[in-house]
Amino acid sequence: MEPIVMLQTSAWLFVVAALGGLVMAAVRLFGKRNPPNWLAMAHGLLAAAGLTLLAYASLSAPVPTLAWVALGLLVLAAAGGTVLNLGYAWPRRLLPAGLLAGHAVLAVLGFVALLAVAFG
């Protein structure tokens, strides 16, 4: 498979994951409660699939430096998502808005970098 196709597929996986992330952020920030677990799991699974494909494309073929930047930012976002899930959602503690915002900012920056590489 061509590296650009893998990058584009990764971007589409992140689009769907981001839609779930927006819904979860709205539930948390406007509803003052944590989003449903099934939505968090679907969000994480789609994002992990996109991240895995991005990593594979970056490691198996020459890609622009911006793809590596996207990978790094999205790995940091994934780490934040893991902390949100295991540190707060799993023990049924309310997700902190600041950590949620940090996770979202890293994910958006990484996603924009990925879009620039995949479709720019």
Question: pTM, whole model, 2 decimals?
Answer: 0.95
Output the average pLDDT for the chain.
97
Summarize the confidence of residues 108-113 as an average pLDDT.
98
31-53 as b/e: b if 16+ CB within 10 A? eeebbeeeebeebbebbebbbeb
Whole-angstrom Cα distance, residue 55 to residue 99?
A: 24
Residue 97 has pLDDT above 90, yes or no: yes
The whole-number average pLDDT for the span 2-28 is 97
Q: Using CA atoms, how far apart are residues 114 and 17, in angstroms rounded to an integer?
A: 14
Provide mean pLDDT across the span 86-115.
Answer: 97
| Alpha-carbon torsion, ordered 32, 49, 106, 5, to 10 deg | -140
Q: 26-49, pLDDT tens digit by residue?
A: 999 999 899 999 999 999 999 999
pLDDT at residue 92 greater than cutoff 90 = yes
pLDDT digits (tens, 9 = 90+) for 44-65: 999 999 999 999 999 999 999 9
Please tell me the predicted confidence (pLDDT) of residue 1. Answer: 86
